[in-house]
């Protein structure tokens, strides 16, 4: 198994363990990264974008860093291959999950069980969608 895919699996498991231990803020971080790592892995395994190619594309991109590039890539592929309804759902969930993670990591706010369980559910939904639709 790819090390990146393995990390993705570790992070989704860690998110649940952290919630079970009432550690809500770090669980959101793990939920998000489980999706981000799976998307990067899928870009490589399904779409054939090597990690070096991804680094190069990000370095010349004017739209932001790796996270922005990968999310935009997936939003585009979902819309192109599965239509507006799937795109709307996918893009909203990944956007919200990223915002939850940024708030959890950087803002002076309390992260409640509600926010952490919503982040985990979004991560599970997104992971399922990616695995179902972009799996060889």
User: What's 8-77 look like in SS3?
Assistant: HHHHHHHHHHHHHCCCHHHHHHHHHHHHHHHHHHHHHHCCCCCHHHHHHHHHHCCCCCHHHHHHHHHHHH
pLDDT score of 135: 83
The pair phi, psi for residue 62, each rounded to 5°, is -105, 5
Distance between CA atoms of residues 117 and 119, nearest Å: 5
Tell me the pLDDT tens digit for each residue of 11-63: 999 999 999 999 999 999 999 999 999 999 999 999 999 999 999 999 998 87
Q: Tens digits of per-residue pLDDT, 55-86?
A: 999 999 887 899 999 999 999 999 999 999 99
């Amino acid at each position: 198994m790819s090390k990146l895919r393995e990390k993705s699996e570790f992070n989704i498991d860690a998110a649940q363990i952290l919630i079970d231990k009432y550690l809500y803020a770090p669980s959101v971080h793990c939920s998000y990264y489980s999706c981000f790592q799976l998307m990067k892995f899928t870009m490589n395994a399904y779409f054939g974008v090597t990690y070096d190619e991804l680094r190069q594309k990000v370095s010349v991109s004017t739209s932001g860093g790796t996270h922005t590039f990968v999310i935009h890539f997936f939003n585009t592929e979902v819309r192109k291959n599965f239509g507006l309804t799937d795109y709307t759902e996918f893009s909203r969930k990944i956007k919200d999950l990223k915002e939850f993670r940024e708030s959890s990591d950087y803002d002076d706010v309390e992260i409640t069980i509600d926010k952490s369980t919503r982040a985990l559910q979004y991560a599970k939904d997104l992971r399922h969608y990616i695995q179902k639709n972009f799996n060889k």
